A and B are shown apart, each in its own frame.
Chain A
Amino acid sequence: MFFAGFDEKIANLQAQIHTHETQLNSLKRQLATVEFEAAQSSIQQRPPTYPSTSSASHTAYENHDPHDMSFGFPEDWQAETLAALSASNPPALQRWPLGKEEYKRYGRQLIMPEVGLKGQLALKASKVLIVGAGGLGCPAAAYLAGAGVGTLGLVDGDTVEESNLHRQIMHGTGRVGMGKVNSAIVGLTSLNPNVKYVPHRAHLTAESSLDIVDQYDLVLDCTDNPASRYLISDTCVLLSKPLVSASALRTDGQLMVLNNPPRPPGDSSGGPCYRCVFPKPPPPESVTSCGEGGILGPVVGVMGVLQALEAIKIISSGSLKLGTSDKEMKNHTNGNSAKDSTAQPPSLLMFSAFSPQPFRTIRLRSRKLSCPACSAQATITSETLLSGSLDYVQFCGTTHPVQILNAKERISATEYAAVREEEVVLKEMSFAQPPGHVLVDVREKVQWELAALDGAINIPFSKIASTKVPIKADEMGSKTPNRVGVESEAFWLQELRSLPTDQTMFVVCRLGNDSQLAVRKFKELGLDHDGTRAIKDIQNGLLAWRRDVDTDFPDY
C-alpha cells in the first residue's frame, strides 16, 4: 500500500516527460522549417553585399541562424556600410577586389600561393553542383561553402533519417524527417551565408540531368548507386564539365577526378570518364549499400573532404571557363587548352582505413578507345539521354527480394511467436518435455551480438554460403550424404547434425533474404534428414519480429 503512491507518481512523471518530449521534438522540427524558410527568403530579398567581380550572381544572406553565435557584423552596421559601399560607389570604383568581410573570412587561404586573390576570385565566380547530400555530400558541401564558392547547387530527393546522422554532418537531430537538401542548406547557411545555395529537391534523372548540370561549372558525384554514377558521368562528358567522383563503403573509399580536362566526346586529350574505368556495372546482387554493409563516418567523411579539395584545386588553378554553359562554351573557341595541360594525369585514389598503407594511387589510362560515352565511337548523345532510350536502372540491373521457398517452408513472425508461446505452456503443464525447436540466426556475428532472440544459435551466413555441398548421395549409390573425399566437415555443420532430428529448425536473419538461402542450403546439406526434420524460414526475419511481435527489439 505504501508503495502504491510512488508507482502512481512515477507513472505520472513518465507520462509528463513523454508528452513534453513529443512536444519538444515537434518544436525542433518547426524551428528547422522556419530556419530554412528564413534562409530561402533572404536569398530573394537581400541586395548584393559585395561588389560583384564576375558574372556569377553573388548574394549575401542575413545572419538569421540562431545557432550561429559568432558570425557577422551587427545588422544595422552592416546595412549602413553596404549602403555606403554599393549605393554611392558604383562597382567600377570599388577600391578592393573583395569585400572587407571576405578578406577576413577567407584570409587563411588567401595568403596561400595555391589560392591567392586569383584563386579566391575564381572560387567566388564558380558554380559547383553536388549530387547527393549524404555522407560524401555533407562534408564536401561544408568545405566548398566554407571556401567561398559563388554558387552551390545540391541535388537530393531523400529525407534525413536518424541513422544518417553519424556521418551526414550538415544535418541535425532536430531536422530528422526534413528533406536533405533543405536541411543541408540550413546548416550551410549558418556556416557561410555569402554563398548562393540552389536546391534541387529530387533525384537526378536522365530527363533532368542535362538541364541541371548545364547551370554549373563542375560536378561532385556524391551519390550512392551505380546507375547515378553512369548517368552523372555521361552528362558531364556531354556538357564538358569536370567531375569529381567519390564513393565509400565500410572502411574503404575511392576517389577519381574524371573528364578533366573536360573535352567533348571524341577528343582524346580529354580525361577519362567513369565508363572508361568501370565499363561494366557490378551485378546488382553484389551491390552493397551503406545500410546493408555499414559505413564508418570518418571514412566517408575523408572521401567527401577530398572531393572538396580536388574541386578547390581545379577551380583555383583557373583552368575552368567559369560561368559559361556548354552552349556558350562552343561559341568561345579560343578556349584555354594551354591551361588545361596543368590538369594532373588521371588517377584513382584508394583509401583503406584499416590497412597499414591506407592510401594508394593508381595511374589510370586516358580515354578508352571504345568508350560509348567519351571516345570517337561514342553512342551516347544528348538525344539518347533525353529520349530515355538509355535506361540506367536497367543497365545496372535491379534486385528483387529473394523468393525461393514455397509456402510450407515459411512461417510468419507471429506464427513463430505462437510456437514459442506454446512450448512454454507445454513445459509448464506436463512432465514430458516437448521436443522443442531450434532457432538458427544466420546474421553475421557482429549483428548477432547487438541483440538476438532467447535460445537462438548463431551461424553466420558467410560460413553457410562458403560451405560446399558434397556430391549427391544417390550419385554415389548410397542413402546418406557421402562425405568421403570431403575434408573434415565444417564445425557448424557437425553441430547442427548432432541435434535431435525431431526438432523443427527455424531460420532467421535481419530482413528475410539470407534465411531463405540458408534453408535451401541446409536441405542440400541433408539437415532435413530426407524430410524427417522440418526446416522453416521466418518471413522477413527480425524486421517482421520487431514489427509484429516485439516492438522493443532493437532497430539498427
Chain B
Amino acid sequence: MRARDLAEDYPLVQLTDDAMTAARLIAEQRRPGVVVVDDENHPVTVLPGSQVLRFIVPGYVQEDPSLARVYDERGGAEACVNKLEGRMVKELLPPKEKRHEIPKVSGDATVIECAATMARLHSPLLLVTDDDTIHGVVTASHLLEVILSTSGTNP
C-alpha cells in the first residue's frame, strides 16, 4: 500500500482565514489538525489542535500548573475563545524559525515511510503531495489502523 492509497480528503485553510474557522474545523469533526495552504494552495504547514490550544491558553497559565486549576470552567473557556476573535490562521502558527518542516511525502511513499516521517516530525497529519499537488492527508489514526491490520492485530 502506498501513501496515495491512504490519503483522505481533508479540509484546507488559508493563512488569512479566520482563526475561529480553523478551530471549529478541528473541533466539530474531532480532527487532529488542519492543513494550512498559501494563496496558491501550496502547503505551508500543518496546524495541529495542540498548537491552537497553545495559542489560546495564556502563556502564564501554561507555565504555572497551579494557576490552570483556578479557573471556573466557563470563565476559562471564555478567556481562551476571546483570544481567537479577530485573528487569522497565520497568527496561530509558531514563528517561522520555530516551525518544523512540512510533514509531507510523495504519493508512492510506503506505509513505514509515512510512519517514519510522522514520528520524526511529531505530526498527527501527513500531507501526500506530488509537485505541489495535494492528493490528501494521512492521519496518524488511519496509519496505525493500517499497520495493525496488516500485522494481523486488528484494532
Is B one of A's binding partners?
A: no
Binding site for B on A (CB under 8 A): none
